[in-house]
Amino acid sequence: MMTEDQRDEVLRTLHEDLDICKNLLWTVKEQILDNDISNYPIFVASSEVLDLGKLVVDKESMEINWYFMASHLEEFAIKQIIAEDKIDSFRKVYKEHLDELCIFVMTENSGDFVFLPV
């Protein structure tokens, strides 16, 4: 579990990165929706490349803090990152944030969902 200070630092760096790559992430979100891949696109932000989703933003080449991988609810369910009994709750929360990016932030100690405006 993150401390409040750690969470604040994570959110600060995420906002910095989104200032640079939000248009790209929003375009990827629209492509996932438009191509009927999923109605629930999720971006994974991590300090290292994970075997989750597809890498869409390389922090090294963009000189930012986070790698961003594009994924979706169905992959999170298959990999049991979201428990089966929590899927409906996730969908409800997601629909309340349609104009935001859903980001699963992976840190050394935990993973947590945040919804950030573009």
Q: Domain extents for the chain?
A: 4-117
Average pLDDT over residues 45-58: 95
- The per-residue pLDDT for range 7-41, each reduced to its tens digit, is 889 889 999 999 999 999 999 999 999 999 999 99
Q: What is the pLDDT at residue 3? A: 79
pTM over 0.85: yes
Residue 1 confidence (pLDDT) above 80: no
80, two tokens = 């049991």
Stronger pLDDT, 107 or 85, i.e. the higher one? 85
Q: What is the pLDDT at residue 109? A: 73
DSSP SS3 for 112: strand
Place of tokens 């428990």: 83
C-alpha 19/C-alpha 4 separation (Å) is 23
**Which ranges in the chain belong to alpha helices (H)?**
4-34, 59-62, 73-78, 87-95
Q: Is there a contact between 44 and 103 (Cβ–Cβ < 8 Å)?
A: yes
